[in-house]
Structure 1
Protein backbone atom coordinates (compact mmCIF):
# COMPACT_ATOMS: atom_id res chain seq x y z
CA UNK A 1 0.00 0.00 0.00
CA UNK A 2 1.31 3.37 -0.99
CA UNK A 3 0.48 6.81 0.34
CA UNK A 4 -1.52 7.47 -2.78
CA UNK A 5 -3.43 4.25 -2.83
CA UNK A 6 -5.33 2.95 0.12
CA UNK A 7 -5.98 -0.37 -1.56
CA UNK A 8 -9.16 -2.35 -1.13
CA UNK A 9 -8.98 -2.45 2.64
CA UNK A 10 -11.13 0.59 3.17
CA UNK A 11 -14.85 -0.02 3.77
CA UNK A 12 -15.95 2.29 0.99
CA UNK A 13 -13.89 0.29 -1.57
CA UNK A 14 -14.88 -3.12 -0.25
CA UNK A 15 -17.09 -4.56 -2.98
CA UNK A 16 -18.30 -8.05 -2.01
CA UNK A 17 -18.89 -8.82 -5.66
CA UNK A 18 -15.55 -7.45 -6.96
CA UNK A 19 -14.40 -10.93 -7.98
CA UNK A 20 -16.99 -10.83 -10.77
CA UNK A 21 -15.33 -7.91 -12.55
CA UNK A 22 -12.00 -7.66 -14.29
CA UNK A 23 -10.76 -4.72 -12.30
CA UNK A 24 -11.77 -6.51 -9.13
CA UNK A 25 -9.92 -9.63 -10.11
CA UNK A 26 -6.90 -7.45 -10.93
CA UNK A 27 -7.01 -6.17 -7.41
CA UNK A 28 -7.09 -9.70 -6.04
CA UNK A 29 -10.81 -10.11 -5.29
CA UNK A 30 -11.81 -13.68 -4.53
CA UNK A 31 -15.15 -15.51 -4.41
CA UNK A 32 -16.54 -16.55 -0.99
CA UNK A 33 -14.73 -19.40 0.72
CA UNK A 34 -15.67 -21.90 3.40
CA UNK A 35 -14.30 -19.55 6.04
CA UNK A 36 -17.13 -17.14 5.36
CA UNK A 37 -15.00 -14.33 3.94
CA UNK A 38 -15.21 -12.88 0.47
CA UNK A 39 -14.12 -9.84 -1.48
CA UNK A 40 -10.71 -8.26 -1.45
CA UNK A 41 -7.85 -9.47 0.70
CA UNK A 42 -7.68 -7.76 4.09
CA UNK A 43 -11.14 -6.33 3.46
CA UNK A 44 -13.35 -5.36 6.38
CA UNK A 45 -15.38 -8.40 7.37
CA UNK A 46 -19.02 -7.58 7.78
CA UNK A 47 -20.36 -11.03 8.40
CA UNK A 48 -21.22 -11.53 12.12
CA UNK A 49 -24.02 -13.07 14.12
CA UNK A 50 -27.11 -10.96 14.36
CA UNK A 51 -27.03 -8.70 17.42
CA UNK A 52 -23.33 -9.35 18.03
CA UNK A 53 -20.68 -6.74 17.73
CA UNK A 54 -17.24 -6.35 19.23
CA UNK A 55 -15.64 -3.20 20.49
CA UNK A 56 -12.07 -3.36 21.73
CA UNK A 57 -12.15 -7.17 21.60
CA UNK A 58 -15.09 -7.51 24.04
CA UNK A 59 -18.41 -8.83 22.88
CA UNK A 60 -21.40 -6.73 23.81
CA UNK A 61 -24.84 -8.21 24.26
CA UNK A 62 -27.73 -6.50 22.53
CA UNK A 63 -29.78 -4.25 24.72
CA UNK A 64 -33.39 -3.06 24.69
CA UNK A 65 -35.33 -0.26 26.29
CA UNK A 66 -38.17 -1.07 28.79
CA UNK A 67 -39.98 1.44 30.94
CA UNK A 68 -37.29 4.04 30.31
CA UNK A 69 -34.48 1.61 31.49
CA UNK A 70 -31.88 -0.25 29.42
CA UNK A 71 -32.28 -4.03 29.81
CA UNK A 72 -29.64 -6.51 28.65
CA UNK A 73 -30.90 -9.14 26.22
CA UNK A 74 -30.29 -12.84 26.58
CA UNK A 75 -27.10 -14.14 24.98
CA UNK A 76 -27.34 -16.69 22.22
CA UNK A 77 -27.03 -20.20 23.52
CA UNK A 78 -28.39 -19.48 27.00
CA UNK A 79 -30.79 -22.08 28.28
CA UNK A 80 -34.50 -21.40 28.85
CA UNK A 81 -35.12 -19.74 32.20
CA UNK A 82 -31.36 -19.10 32.74
CA UNK A 83 -29.93 -15.63 32.95
CA UNK A 84 -26.99 -14.94 30.58
CA UNK A 85 -25.30 -12.92 33.29
CA UNK A 86 -25.74 -11.75 36.83
CA UNK A 87 -26.60 -8.28 35.51
CA UNK A 88 -29.97 -9.41 34.13
CA UNK A 89 -33.03 -8.33 36.09
CA UNK A 90 -36.75 -8.82 35.43
CA UNK A 91 -38.66 -5.79 34.08
CA UNK A 92 -40.73 -5.66 37.25
CA UNK A 93 -37.62 -4.73 39.27
CA UNK A 94 -37.01 -1.55 37.33
CA UNK A 95 -38.68 1.76 38.31
CA UNK A 96 -41.79 2.25 36.24
CA UNK A 97 -42.04 -1.48 35.43
CA UNK A 98 -45.42 -3.24 35.48
CA UNK A 99 -46.43 -4.74 38.84
CA UNK A 100 -46.61 -8.52 38.98
CA UNK A 101 -49.17 -8.84 41.78
CA UNK A 102 -52.51 -7.22 42.45
CA UNK A 103 -52.64 -5.09 45.56
CA UNK A 104 -55.53 -5.67 47.96
CA UNK A 105 -57.73 -2.67 48.84
CA UNK A 106 -56.52 -0.74 51.84
CA UNK A 107 -59.86 -1.12 53.63
CA UNK A 108 -61.69 -4.23 52.40
CA UNK A 109 -64.45 -3.88 54.96
CA UNK A 110 -65.73 -0.75 53.27
CA UNK A 111 -66.59 -2.38 49.96
CA UNK A 112 -70.28 -2.89 50.67
CA UNK A 113 -71.33 0.67 49.90
CA UNK A 114 -72.99 3.25 52.20
CA UNK A 115 -74.87 2.19 55.31
CA UNK A 116 -78.38 2.67 53.91
CA UNK A 117 -80.02 1.24 57.01
CA UNK A 118 -78.45 3.93 59.20
CA UNK A 119 -79.52 6.65 56.77
CA UNK A 120 -83.11 5.37 56.73
CA UNK A 121 -83.33 5.32 60.53
CA UNK A 122 -81.97 8.86 60.72
CA UNK A 123 -84.52 10.13 58.16
CA UNK A 124 -87.42 8.51 60.05
CA UNK A 125 -86.25 10.10 63.31
CA UNK A 126 -86.14 13.57 61.69
CA UNK A 127 -89.65 13.18 60.23
CA UNK A 128 -91.03 11.98 63.59
CA UNK A 129 -89.51 14.99 65.39
CA UNK A 130 -91.04 17.41 62.86
CA UNK A 131 -94.50 15.79 63.15
CA UNK A 132 -94.41 15.94 66.96
CA UNK A 133 -93.35 19.59 66.91
CA UNK A 134 -96.17 20.55 64.53
CA UNK A 135 -98.74 18.65 66.63
CA UNK A 136 -97.65 20.41 69.83
CA UNK A 137 -97.76 23.81 68.12
CA UNK A 138 -101.26 23.16 66.77
CA UNK A 139 -102.53 22.02 70.16
CA UNK A 140 -101.14 25.12 71.85
CA UNK A 141 -102.58 27.36 69.16
CA UNK A 142 -106.04 25.77 69.38
CA UNK A 143 -106.03 26.14 73.16
CA UNK A 144 -105.27 29.84 72.89
CA UNK A 145 -107.96 30.32 70.22
CA UNK A 146 -110.60 28.55 72.29
CA UNK A 147 -109.73 30.63 75.33
CA UNK A 148 -109.96 33.83 73.34
CA UNK A 149 -113.28 32.84 71.78
CA UNK A 150 -114.74 31.96 75.19
CA UNK A 151 -113.85 35.38 76.58
CA UNK A 152 -115.10 37.46 73.67
CA UNK A 153 -117.94 35.44 72.14
CA UNK A 154 -121.48 36.85 72.27
CA UNK A 155 -123.05 33.59 71.08
CA UNK A 156 -124.64 31.38 73.79
CA UNK A 157 -122.75 28.15 74.46
CA UNK A 158 -123.91 24.68 75.50
CA UNK A 159 -123.39 23.64 79.13
CA UNK A 160 -122.17 20.37 80.65
CA UNK A 161 -123.86 18.28 83.31
CA UNK A 162 -122.75 18.66 86.92
CA UNK A 163 -123.70 17.08 90.20
CA UNK A 164 -126.82 18.75 91.66
CA UNK A 165 -126.56 20.96 94.71
CA UNK A 166 -128.49 19.84 97.80
CA UNK A 167 -130.30 23.17 98.05
CA UNK A 168 -130.87 26.49 96.28
CA UNK A 169 -127.61 27.75 97.82
CA UNK A 170 -124.27 27.25 96.05
CA UNK A 171 -120.77 28.31 97.01
CA UNK A 172 -117.56 29.07 95.16
CA UNK A 173 -115.11 26.15 95.41
CA UNK A 174 -111.80 26.34 97.26
CA UNK A 175 -109.99 26.58 93.91
CA UNK A 176 -112.05 29.63 92.96
CA UNK A 177 -114.23 27.80 90.42
CA UNK A 178 -117.64 29.41 90.07
CA UNK A 179 -120.65 27.22 90.91
CA UNK A 180 -123.27 25.51 88.77
CA UNK A 181 -126.76 24.36 89.84
CA UNK A 182 -129.34 21.88 88.50
CA UNK A 183 -133.07 22.53 88.25
CA UNK A 184 -134.12 20.39 91.21
CA UNK A 185 -131.73 22.34 93.51
CA UNK A 186 -133.28 25.73 92.72
CA UNK A 187 -135.89 27.38 94.93
CA UNK A 188 -139.20 27.18 93.06
CA UNK A 189 -142.05 29.71 93.54
CA UNK A 190 -145.21 30.85 91.76
CA UNK A 191 -146.46 27.49 90.59
CA UNK A 192 -143.17 26.19 89.19
CA UNK A 193 -142.22 22.51 89.64
CA UNK A 194 -139.79 19.90 88.40
CA UNK A 195 -140.51 17.37 85.67
CA UNK A 196 -138.61 14.95 83.44
CA UNK A 197 -141.02 13.86 80.69
CA UNK A 198 -139.35 16.03 78.00
CA UNK A 199 -136.15 14.40 76.85
CA UNK A 200 -132.88 16.28 76.43
CA UNK A 201 -132.35 17.94 79.82
CA UNK A 202 -128.73 17.71 81.04
CA UNK A 203 -129.50 18.12 84.73
CA UNK A 204 -129.13 15.08 86.95
CA UNK A 205 -131.87 12.57 86.18
CA UNK A 206 -133.09 14.60 83.18
CA UNK A 207 -134.99 16.91 85.55
CA UNK A 208 -136.03 20.44 84.54
CA UNK A 209 -138.23 23.28 85.83
CA UNK A 210 -141.70 23.45 84.31
CA UNK A 211 -144.71 25.72 84.94
CA UNK A 212 -142.76 28.89 84.20
CA UNK A 213 -145.16 29.95 81.44
CA UNK A 214 -147.37 32.27 83.50
CA UNK A 215 -146.92 35.56 85.35
CA UNK A 216 -145.65 35.16 88.92
CA UNK A 217 -143.51 32.09 88.27
CA UNK A 218 -140.00 32.40 89.75
CA UNK A 219 -136.83 30.43 90.45
CA UNK A 220 -134.14 31.58 92.92
CA UNK A 221 -130.44 30.72 93.25
CA UNK A 222 -128.32 31.89 96.22
CA UNK A 223 -124.58 32.00 95.57
CA UNK A 224 -122.06 32.22 98.43
CA UNK A 225 -118.34 32.90 98.50
CA UNK A 226 -117.86 35.39 95.68
CA UNK A 227 -114.28 36.45 96.39
CA UNK A 228 -114.27 39.73 94.55
CA UNK A 229 -117.02 42.06 93.35
CA UNK A 230 -117.29 42.53 89.62
CA UNK A 231 -119.06 41.70 86.39
CA UNK A 232 -119.94 38.09 85.57
CA UNK A 233 -122.02 36.14 83.10
CA UNK A 234 -125.07 34.13 84.15
CA UNK A 235 -125.63 31.19 81.81
CA UNK A 236 -129.01 29.41 81.53
CA UNK A 237 -129.83 26.21 79.66
CA UNK A 238 -133.43 26.12 78.50
CA UNK A 239 -135.89 24.68 75.99
CA UNK A 240 -138.57 26.53 74.01
CA UNK A 241 -141.18 25.19 71.57
CA UNK A 242 -139.63 26.95 68.56
CA UNK A 243 -140.83 30.42 69.71
CA UNK A 244 -138.63 33.15 71.27
CA UNK A 245 -139.10 33.78 75.00
CA UNK A 246 -137.60 35.96 77.77
CA UNK A 247 -137.60 36.43 81.54
CA UNK A 248 -136.83 39.11 84.10
CA UNK A 249 -133.36 38.73 85.68
CA UNK A 250 -132.72 40.22 89.14
CA UNK A 251 -129.55 40.26 91.30
CA UNK A 252 -129.86 41.03 95.00
CA UNK A 253 -133.41 42.33 94.45
CA UNK A 254 -132.52 44.64 91.59
CA UNK A 255 -133.77 43.82 88.10
CA UNK A 256 -131.51 44.18 85.11
CA UNK A 257 -132.39 46.82 82.57
CA UNK A 258 -132.80 44.17 79.90
CA UNK A 259 -134.57 40.80 80.33
CA UNK A 260 -132.59 37.61 79.71
CA UNK A 261 -133.27 36.49 76.14
CA UNK A 262 -134.49 32.92 75.61
CA UNK A 263 -134.45 33.01 71.83
CA UNK A 264 -134.63 30.22 69.29
CA UNK A 265 -130.92 30.46 68.35
CA UNK A 266 -130.82 26.96 66.85
CA UNK A 267 -134.00 27.29 64.77
CA UNK A 268 -135.83 24.40 66.43
CA UNK A 269 -139.22 23.37 65.04
CA UNK A 270 -142.27 25.02 66.48
CA UNK A 271 -144.09 23.06 69.19
CA UNK A 272 -141.19 20.61 69.80
CA UNK A 273 -139.64 21.13 73.28
CA UNK A 274 -137.41 18.07 72.94
CA UNK A 275 -135.53 19.64 70.01
CA UNK A 276 -135.52 23.12 71.53
CA UNK A 277 -132.73 22.71 74.16
CA UNK A 278 -130.07 25.46 73.92
CA UNK A 279 -128.21 28.02 76.07
CA UNK A 280 -128.04 31.77 76.58
CA UNK A 281 -126.29 34.23 78.91
CA UNK A 282 -126.78 37.68 80.40
CA UNK A 283 -124.38 40.05 82.23
CA UNK A 284 -124.69 40.35 86.02
CA UNK A 285 -122.87 42.45 88.59
CA UNK A 286 -122.11 40.59 91.82
CA UNK A 287 -120.85 41.79 95.18
CA UNK A 288 -118.24 40.09 97.31
CA UNK A 289 -119.69 37.32 99.47
CA UNK A 290 -123.35 36.21 98.99
CA UNK A 291 -125.58 37.09 96.04
CA UNK A 292 -129.22 36.14 95.25
CA UNK A 293 -130.11 35.59 91.59
CA UNK A 294 -133.74 35.33 90.40
CA UNK A 295 -135.45 34.48 87.12
CA UNK A 296 -139.11 35.57 87.06
CA UNK A 297 -142.02 35.72 84.64
CA UNK A 298 -143.40 39.25 85.03
CA UNK A 299 -145.85 41.29 83.03
CA UNK A 300 -144.51 41.83 79.54
CA UNK A 301 -142.39 38.68 79.50
CA UNK A 302 -142.89 35.78 77.09
CA UNK A 303 -142.19 32.90 79.51
CA UNK A 304 -143.00 29.64 77.71
CA UNK A 305 -139.68 27.95 78.56
CA UNK A 306 -138.17 25.06 80.55
CA UNK A 307 -134.93 25.40 82.62
CA UNK A 308 -132.51 22.63 83.60
CA UNK A 309 -129.23 24.37 84.65
CA UNK A 310 -127.74 27.72 85.70
CA UNK A 311 -124.03 28.62 86.13
CA UNK A 312 -121.67 31.57 86.43
CA UNK A 313 -118.55 32.54 84.49
Structure 2
Protein backbone atom coordinates (compact mmCIF):
# COMPACT_ATOMS: atom_id res chain seq x y z
CA UNK A 1 0.00 0.00 0.00
CA UNK A 2 1.31 3.48 -0.98
CA UNK A 3 0.54 6.66 0.74
CA UNK A 4 -2.12 8.80 -0.88
CA UNK A 5 -5.78 9.24 -1.05
CA UNK A 6 -7.51 5.96 -0.75
CA UNK A 7 -10.70 7.29 -2.23
CA UNK A 8 -14.03 7.87 -0.55
CA UNK A 9 -13.96 7.73 3.20
CA UNK A 10 -14.84 4.57 4.93
CA UNK A 11 -16.74 4.16 8.14
CA UNK A 12 -13.50 3.78 9.98
CA UNK A 13 -12.52 7.34 8.88
CA UNK A 14 -15.74 9.04 9.89
CA UNK A 15 -15.21 12.18 11.91
CA UNK A 16 -18.39 13.95 12.96
CA UNK A 17 -16.44 17.15 13.24
CA UNK A 18 -14.47 16.82 9.96
CA UNK A 19 -16.18 19.82 8.43
CA UNK A 20 -14.41 22.02 10.95
CA UNK A 21 -10.95 21.23 9.53
CA UNK A 22 -9.37 22.26 6.21
CA UNK A 23 -8.47 18.74 5.16
CA UNK A 24 -11.97 17.63 6.03
CA UNK A 25 -13.52 20.36 3.96
CA UNK A 26 -11.16 19.40 1.12
CA UNK A 27 -12.57 15.90 1.27
CA UNK A 28 -16.11 17.26 1.13
CA UNK A 29 -17.14 17.17 4.76
CA UNK A 30 -20.43 18.98 5.40
CA UNK A 31 -22.18 20.08 8.58
CA UNK A 32 -24.62 17.42 9.75
CA UNK A 33 -28.17 17.45 8.45
CA UNK A 34 -29.73 14.00 8.57
CA UNK A 35 -26.31 12.44 9.25
CA UNK A 36 -23.00 14.09 9.86
CA UNK A 37 -19.37 13.74 8.99
CA UNK A 38 -17.99 12.97 5.59
CA UNK A 39 -20.13 12.26 2.52
CA UNK A 40 -21.67 8.85 2.52
CA UNK A 41 -20.71 8.42 6.16
CA UNK A 42 -22.58 5.91 8.21
CA UNK A 43 -24.81 7.55 10.76
CA UNK A 44 -25.30 5.67 14.00
CA UNK A 45 -27.58 8.27 15.56
CA UNK A 46 -31.00 7.00 16.54
CA UNK A 47 -33.98 8.91 17.75
CA UNK A 48 -35.25 8.25 21.23
CA UNK A 49 -37.62 5.30 21.12
CA UNK A 50 -36.39 4.12 17.73
CA UNK A 51 -34.48 1.17 19.10
CA UNK A 52 -36.63 -1.75 20.10
CA UNK A 53 -35.24 -4.80 21.78
CA UNK A 54 -35.66 -8.06 20.00
CA UNK A 55 -35.77 -6.36 16.54
CA UNK A 56 -32.96 -5.91 14.05
CA UNK A 57 -32.59 -2.74 12.12
CA UNK A 58 -33.00 -3.14 8.33
CA UNK A 59 -29.71 -3.50 6.60
CA UNK A 60 -28.63 -1.41 3.66
CA UNK A 61 -26.20 -2.18 0.87
CA UNK A 62 -22.62 -1.37 1.66
CA UNK A 63 -21.85 2.25 1.02
CA UNK A 64 -25.48 3.39 1.31
CA UNK A 65 -26.97 5.14 4.21
CA UNK A 66 -29.83 3.17 5.76
CA UNK A 67 -33.16 4.88 5.81
CA UNK A 68 -33.60 7.02 8.87
CA UNK A 69 -36.77 6.27 10.74
CA UNK A 70 -37.05 9.83 11.81
CA UNK A 71 -35.32 13.07 11.14
CA UNK A 72 -32.98 14.40 13.78
CA UNK A 73 -34.91 16.48 16.22
CA UNK A 74 -38.27 15.21 15.04
CA UNK A 75 -40.54 12.78 16.89
CA UNK A 76 -40.60 9.26 15.64
CA UNK A 77 -43.80 7.53 14.85
CA UNK A 78 -42.91 4.67 17.15
CA UNK A 79 -41.91 6.91 20.02
CA UNK A 80 -44.26 7.51 22.88
CA UNK A 81 -43.56 9.80 25.75
CA UNK A 82 -43.40 8.08 29.17
CA UNK A 83 -46.30 10.14 30.47
CA UNK A 84 -48.55 8.80 27.67
CA UNK A 85 -47.96 5.19 28.65
CA UNK A 86 -50.44 3.38 30.92
CA UNK A 87 -49.89 4.58 34.44
CA UNK A 88 -48.01 7.51 33.07
CA UNK A 89 -45.03 9.21 34.60
CA UNK A 90 -45.77 11.74 37.32
CA UNK A 91 -46.18 15.22 35.94
CA UNK A 92 -44.91 16.93 39.07
CA UNK A 93 -42.21 15.98 41.57
CA UNK A 94 -43.62 14.01 44.39
CA UNK A 95 -42.09 13.42 47.75
CA UNK A 96 -41.46 9.84 48.62
CA UNK A 97 -43.28 8.84 51.76
CA UNK A 98 -40.69 8.25 54.46
CA UNK A 99 -40.37 4.80 55.95
CA UNK A 100 -41.26 4.15 59.50
CA UNK A 101 -44.74 5.61 59.64
CA UNK A 102 -47.13 7.77 57.62
CA UNK A 103 -46.73 11.47 57.67
CA UNK A 104 -43.70 11.46 59.95
CA UNK A 105 -40.07 12.01 59.38
CA UNK A 106 -37.97 9.12 58.11
CA UNK A 107 -36.34 7.21 60.94
CA UNK A 108 -33.69 4.52 61.04
CA UNK A 109 -33.73 1.52 63.38
CA UNK A 110 -35.41 2.10 66.72
CA UNK A 111 -32.12 2.55 68.60
CA UNK A 112 -33.81 4.42 71.43
CA UNK A 113 -36.02 1.41 72.21
CA UNK A 114 -33.01 -0.93 72.08
CA UNK A 115 -31.07 1.34 74.43
CA UNK A 116 -33.95 1.48 76.93
CA UNK A 117 -34.28 -2.31 76.81
CA UNK A 118 -30.53 -2.79 77.43
CA UNK A 119 -30.60 -0.38 80.38
CA UNK A 120 -33.60 -2.22 81.85
CA UNK A 121 -31.78 -5.58 81.61
CA UNK A 122 -28.66 -4.21 83.28
CA UNK A 123 -30.72 -2.61 86.04
CA UNK A 124 -32.56 -5.88 86.69
CA UNK A 125 -29.27 -7.79 86.95
CA UNK A 126 -27.79 -5.23 89.35
CA UNK A 127 -30.90 -5.25 91.54
CA UNK A 128 -30.91 -9.06 91.61
CA UNK A 129 -27.24 -9.19 92.68
CA UNK A 130 -27.87 -6.59 95.38
CA UNK A 131 -30.85 -8.49 96.77
CA UNK A 132 -28.88 -11.76 96.78
CA UNK A 133 -25.98 -10.13 98.64
CA UNK A 134 -28.29 -8.54 101.21
CA UNK A 135 -30.40 -11.60 101.89
CA UNK A 136 -27.97 -14.43 101.27
CA UNK A 137 -28.96 -18.07 101.16
CA UNK A 138 -30.37 -19.90 104.19
CA UNK A 139 -27.18 -21.92 104.42
CA UNK A 140 -25.13 -18.72 104.59
CA UNK A 141 -27.37 -17.40 107.38
CA UNK A 142 -26.95 -20.61 109.31
CA UNK A 143 -23.20 -20.42 108.91
CA UNK A 144 -23.17 -16.78 110.02
CA UNK A 145 -25.30 -17.56 113.06
CA UNK A 146 -23.11 -20.52 113.95
CA UNK A 147 -20.04 -18.32 113.67
CA UNK A 148 -21.45 -15.31 115.51
CA UNK A 149 -23.11 -17.13 118.43
CA UNK A 150 -20.82 -19.26 120.61
CA UNK A 151 -22.05 -22.63 121.69
CA UNK A 152 -23.49 -23.22 125.14
CA UNK A 153 -20.33 -24.96 126.24
CA UNK A 154 -18.26 -21.98 125.11
CA UNK A 155 -20.46 -19.56 127.03
CA UNK A 156 -20.34 -21.48 130.26
CA UNK A 157 -16.72 -22.59 130.14
CA UNK A 158 -14.05 -20.37 131.62
CA UNK A 159 -10.43 -20.86 130.58
CA UNK A 160 -8.69 -23.31 132.84
CA UNK A 161 -4.97 -23.14 133.49
CA UNK A 162 -2.94 -25.54 131.43
CA UNK A 163 -0.90 -28.30 132.94
CA UNK A 164 2.24 -26.24 132.46
CA UNK A 165 0.64 -23.29 134.26
CA UNK A 166 -0.43 -25.55 137.11
CA UNK A 167 3.06 -26.92 137.22
CA UNK A 168 4.50 -23.42 137.39
CA UNK A 169 2.11 -22.54 140.23
CA UNK A 170 3.21 -25.65 142.10
CA UNK A 171 6.85 -24.85 141.52
CA UNK A 172 6.42 -21.35 142.93
CA UNK A 173 5.04 -22.80 146.16
CA UNK A 174 7.41 -24.72 148.48
CA UNK A 175 8.08 -28.45 148.10
CA UNK A 176 10.23 -30.79 150.22
CA UNK A 177 11.77 -34.29 150.07
CA UNK A 178 11.86 -36.75 152.95
CA UNK A 179 15.50 -36.21 153.85
CA UNK A 180 14.91 -32.45 154.28
CA UNK A 181 12.27 -33.02 156.97
CA UNK A 182 13.08 -32.79 160.67
CA UNK A 183 12.66 -36.26 162.14
CA UNK A 184 11.65 -37.08 165.77
CA UNK A 185 10.32 -39.98 167.88
CA UNK A 186 12.13 -42.79 166.10
CA UNK A 187 11.50 -41.67 162.52
CA UNK A 188 14.47 -42.39 160.29
CA UNK A 189 15.53 -42.33 156.64
CA UNK A 190 15.61 -45.44 154.44
CA UNK A 191 15.77 -46.41 150.76
CA UNK A 192 15.02 -50.15 150.78
CA UNK A 193 11.61 -49.92 149.10
CA UNK A 194 11.86 -48.95 145.45
CA UNK A 195 9.64 -46.30 143.95
CA UNK A 196 10.25 -43.25 146.11
CA UNK A 197 10.48 -40.01 144.08
CA UNK A 198 12.58 -38.08 146.61
CA UNK A 199 16.20 -37.43 145.77
CA UNK A 200 18.13 -40.71 145.86
CA UNK A 201 14.96 -42.73 146.48
CA UNK A 202 15.15 -41.84 150.17
CA UNK A 203 11.98 -41.93 152.29
CA UNK A 204 11.02 -41.67 156.00
CA UNK A 205 10.66 -45.04 157.76
CA UNK A 206 9.94 -45.90 161.42
CA UNK A 207 6.81 -43.75 161.41
CA UNK A 208 4.66 -46.65 162.71
CA UNK A 209 5.41 -46.00 166.37
CA UNK A 210 3.43 -43.64 168.62
CA UNK A 211 5.42 -40.45 169.11
CA UNK A 212 7.13 -40.55 165.69
CA UNK A 213 6.93 -37.13 164.02
CA UNK A 214 8.19 -35.20 160.96
CA UNK A 215 8.21 -31.38 160.76
CA UNK A 216 8.33 -29.14 157.69
CA UNK A 217 9.21 -25.47 158.17
CA UNK A 218 7.60 -23.68 155.26
CA UNK A 219 9.16 -20.37 154.23
CA UNK A 220 8.11 -17.84 151.61
CA UNK A 221 4.33 -17.88 151.85
CA UNK A 222 3.45 -14.59 150.18
CA UNK A 223 -0.24 -14.47 150.96
CA UNK A 224 -2.38 -15.64 153.83
CA UNK A 225 -5.05 -18.15 152.90
CA UNK A 226 -6.06 -21.74 152.29
CA UNK A 227 -3.67 -24.13 150.53
CA UNK A 228 -3.61 -27.80 149.72
CA UNK A 229 -0.95 -29.94 151.37
CA UNK A 230 -0.09 -32.99 149.26
CA UNK A 231 1.72 -35.97 150.84
CA UNK A 232 3.16 -38.90 148.89
CA UNK A 233 3.22 -42.02 151.07
CA UNK A 234 3.63 -45.78 150.81
CA UNK A 235 1.60 -48.53 152.52
CA UNK A 236 1.68 -52.36 152.38
CA UNK A 237 -1.83 -52.65 150.92
CA UNK A 238 -3.59 -51.49 154.15
CA UNK A 239 -5.17 -48.17 155.17
CA UNK A 240 -3.22 -45.74 157.37
CA UNK A 241 -3.59 -42.22 158.85
CA UNK A 242 -1.70 -39.62 160.87
CA UNK A 243 -2.29 -36.47 162.93
CA UNK A 244 -1.81 -33.20 160.98
CA UNK A 245 -0.86 -30.01 162.85
CA UNK A 246 -0.40 -26.49 161.36
CA UNK A 247 1.57 -23.92 163.35
CA UNK A 248 1.26 -26.13 166.50
CA UNK A 249 -2.51 -26.66 166.21
CA UNK A 250 -3.69 -30.21 165.42
CA UNK A 251 -6.55 -30.60 162.96
CA UNK A 252 -9.57 -32.46 164.22
CA UNK A 253 -9.59 -34.75 161.19
CA UNK A 254 -6.51 -36.94 160.65
CA UNK A 255 -4.65 -37.07 157.36
CA UNK A 256 -6.21 -39.95 155.43
CA UNK A 257 -3.66 -42.40 153.93
CA UNK A 258 -6.02 -45.06 152.67
CA UNK A 259 -5.26 -47.72 150.10
CA UNK A 260 -6.92 -45.69 147.32
CA UNK A 261 -5.23 -47.73 144.62
CA UNK A 262 -6.30 -51.09 146.01
CA UNK A 263 -2.74 -52.40 146.00
CA UNK A 264 -2.12 -55.96 147.20
CA UNK A 265 -1.39 -56.54 150.87
CA UNK A 266 2.29 -56.72 151.81
CA UNK A 267 3.51 -55.16 148.55
CA UNK A 268 5.28 -51.95 149.57
CA UNK A 269 6.65 -51.18 146.10
CA UNK A 270 3.15 -51.01 144.61
CA UNK A 271 1.70 -49.13 147.55
CA UNK A 272 2.96 -45.61 146.64
CA UNK A 273 -0.01 -43.17 146.52
CA UNK A 274 -0.95 -39.51 147.10
CA UNK A 275 -3.32 -37.79 149.51
CA UNK A 276 -4.11 -34.17 150.37
CA UNK A 277 -5.69 -31.95 153.01
CA UNK A 278 -6.57 -28.24 153.26
CA UNK A 279 -4.32 -26.14 155.51
CA UNK A 280 -4.64 -22.48 156.49
CA UNK A 281 -1.30 -20.67 156.32
CA UNK A 282 -0.20 -17.17 157.26
CA UNK A 283 2.04 -14.89 155.29
CA UNK A 284 5.72 -15.66 155.76
CA UNK A 285 6.86 -18.80 157.70
CA UNK A 286 4.64 -21.69 158.83
CA UNK A 287 5.22 -25.14 160.37
CA UNK A 288 3.48 -28.32 159.26
CA UNK A 289 3.75 -31.52 161.34
CA UNK A 290 2.74 -35.14 160.76
CA UNK A 291 2.81 -37.34 163.83
CA UNK A 292 1.71 -40.79 164.97
CA UNK A 293 -0.57 -40.30 167.96
CA UNK A 294 -2.76 -42.63 169.99
CA UNK A 295 -5.54 -43.90 167.84
CA UNK A 296 -3.67 -43.39 164.56
CA UNK A 297 -2.81 -46.22 162.19
CA UNK A 298 0.73 -45.18 161.27
CA UNK A 299 2.07 -48.19 159.33
CA UNK A 300 3.27 -46.04 156.41
CA UNK A 301 6.42 -44.49 154.92
CA UNK A 302 6.65 -40.82 153.79
CA UNK A 303 8.24 -39.68 150.50
CA UNK A 304 7.48 -36.00 149.60
CA UNK A 305 5.30 -32.99 150.52
CA UNK A 306 4.26 -29.94 148.44
CA UNK A 307 1.74 -27.07 148.50
CA UNK A 308 -0.69 -25.83 145.89
CA UNK A 309 -3.31 -23.13 145.95
CA UNK A 310 -6.64 -24.39 147.23
CA UNK A 311 -9.29 -24.05 144.45
CA UNK A 312 -12.46 -22.26 145.54
CA UNK A 313 -15.31 -24.46 146.74
Smaller-chain TM-score bracket: 0.3 to 0.5
Give TM-score scaled by structure 2 length. Answer: 0.46
Higher strand share: 1
Give TM-score scaled by structure 1 length. Answer: 0.46
